[in-house]
C-alpha cells in the first residue's frame, strides 16, 4: 500500500476495513456448523456467568424480547479465538461473551451457526437473529446496513507459509498473491489497496476468494497463495496450531507511512432500528467490563486487556 492522495483517502474511508475469518485445518467442521440446533447450544457452563441479572440493563430490552425469554445469536464459528468449533461444541471469546450478555439480561442464550461469514449481516437485517458476535469490524459501510455495540479493538497481521516463500512484505503488499474470504470487508480493502499500487506504478494485488475460512488457510499452506491478513489476536494462535506450517510476517502497514493498514473496533451486530436492544446489550457489556467479568474472559482466551474498548451503541 502507498501514501494515499486525498481523493483516495476519501474513497477508502467509505469502504469496509479488513476482516478475515481464518480457521485451522482439522479444527473446522462445517457439517457440525450448519446445524440449527447443535450440541452445547446455550454453553452457559463454559462461561464465567454474571453474579446476577442486571436489572437496569434488562429494563432497556424491547418488550418482545423480554416476553420471548431468549436472545437469538449467531456467528460463523470459524475464527479462533473469537468463535470456533471443538468437535460438536461451540467455543470462543465471542461465544462466551454472548452467553454472559444474555444471562445478565435474564435471557436464555440461543445460538445458531450461519453457513458463512457473508451470511451474518443479512441474517441480522432480516431479523432472523437478535445479535451476531463473530469478530465483526465496525465500518462506515456496515453502519449503513446494521448497528453495533463496540467491545474490542484489533489491527491486521500478515501470516505466511513457513519461511515466507512468497517473499511478502507486510509494509508493502503490492504484487502479493493473497487469499480473501468471499463476503468479508477485506475484499473491498484489498481492491482499493491494489488500485493504489497500480496508480503508483507498482504491481496489483492478486486476490483469490474462498467461500470458507479453512479453504483460505489451506490455500496458503499448499502454496496456491502467499499469505493472509488476519486480526492481531488470531495470528499467534494460527501460527501455534499450524505445527510449523505458518509464521507471522509483521503488522500490515501502509507502505511509505508506517501506519497500520487497519485499526478497527469489533462490535456486536444489531439490526438497524433495534435501538432498545442495542442499548440493553451495551449496558450489559459495560457492566461486565466494570465488574471484572470481561477482563477474566480476555485472560481466558489470551487477549490483552488493552484491546478492550468501552461498550457503546453505535448507529447511523
222-236: average pLDDT: 86
Q: Place 237 in a pLDDT band, splitting at 50, 70 and 90.
A: confident
281-290: average pLDDT: 98
3-state secondary structure of 34: coil
Do residues 162 and 135 touch, judged by C-beta distance below 8 A?
no
Q: Place 5 in a pLDDT band, splitting at 50, 70 and 90.
A: very low
Q: Three cell numbers at 216?
A: 483460505
Q: Residue 92 pLDDT > 60, yes or no? A: yes
Is 24 or 199 the better-scoring residue by pLDDT?
Answer: 199
Q: What pLDDT score does 51 carry?
A: 58
Q: Place 156 in a pLDDT band, splitting at 50, 70 and 90.
A: confident
Instruction: Please state, for a pLDDT cut of 90, what percent of the chain lies above it.
Output: 54
Residue with cell 486487556: 305
Mean pLDDT of the chain: 82
Q: Residue 36 pLDDT > 50, yes or no? A: no
307-315: average pLDDT: 95
3-state secondary structure of 265: strand
Q: What pLDDT score does 272 carry?
A: 95
> Where would I find the H helices in the chain?
6-13, 30-33, 55-58, 63-68, 93-104, 120-125, 140-143, 186-199, 213-221, 234-241, 275-291, 293-300
Question: The pTM is what?
Answer: 0.71
Q: Residue 148 pLDDT > 90, yes or no? A: yes
137-160: average pLDDT: 92
Q: What pLDDT score does 213 carry?
A: 67
Amino acid at each position: 500500500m502507498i501514501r494515499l492522495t486525498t481523493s483516495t483517502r476519501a474513497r477508502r474511508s467509505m469502504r469496509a476495513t479488513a476482516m478475515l475469518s481464518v480457521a485451522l485445518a482439522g479444527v473446522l467442521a462445517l457439517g457440525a456448523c450448519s446445524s440449527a440446533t447443535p450440541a452445547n447450544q446455550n454453553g452457559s457452563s463454559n462461561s464465567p456467568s454474571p453474579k446476577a441479572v442486571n436489572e437496569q440493563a434488562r429494563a432497556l430490552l424491547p418488550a418482545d424480547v423480554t416476553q420471548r425469554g431468549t436472545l437469538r445469536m449467531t456467528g460463523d464459528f470459524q475464527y479462533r479465538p473469537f468463535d470456533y468449533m471443538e468437535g460438536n461444541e461451540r467455543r470462543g471469546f465471542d461465544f462466551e461473551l454472548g452467553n454472559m450478555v444474555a444471562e445478565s439480561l435474564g435471557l436464555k442464550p440461543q445460538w445458531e451457526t450461519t453457513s458463512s461469514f457473508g451470511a451474518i449481516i443479512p441474517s441480522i437485517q432480516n431479523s432472523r437473529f437478535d445479535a451476531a458476535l463473530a469478530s465483526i469490524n465496525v465500518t462506515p459501510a456496515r453502519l449503513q446496513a446494521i448497528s453495533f455495540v463496540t467491545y474490542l479493538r484489533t489491527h491486521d497481521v500478515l501470516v505466511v507459509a513457513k519461511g515466507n516463500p512468497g517473499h511478502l512484505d507486510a509494509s508493502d503488499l503490492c504484487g502479493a498473491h493473497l487469499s480473501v474470504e468471499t463476503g468479508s470487508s477485506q475484499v473491498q480493502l484489498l481492491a482499493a489497496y491494489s488500485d493504489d499500487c497500480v496508480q503508483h506504478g507498482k504491481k496489483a494485488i492478486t486476490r483469490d476468494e474462498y467461500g470458507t475460512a479453512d479453504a483460505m488457510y489451506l490455500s496458503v499452506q499448499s502454496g496456491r497463495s502467499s499469505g493472509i491478513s488476519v486480526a492481531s489476536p488470531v495470528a499467534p494462535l494460527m501460527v501455534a496450531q499450524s505445527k510449523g506450517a505458518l509464521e507471522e510476517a509483521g503488522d500490515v502497514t501502509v507502505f511509505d507511512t508506517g501506519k497500520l493498514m487497519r485499526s478497527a473496533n469489533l462490535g456486536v451486530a444489531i439490526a438497524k432500528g433495534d435501538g432498545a436492544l442495542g442499548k440493553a446489550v451495551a449496558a450489559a457489556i459495560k457492566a461486565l467490563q466494570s465488574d471484572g467479568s470481561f477482563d477474566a474472559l480476555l485472560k481466558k482466551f489470551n487477549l490483552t486487556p488493552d484491546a478492550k474498548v468501552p461498550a457503546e451503541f453505535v448507529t447511523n
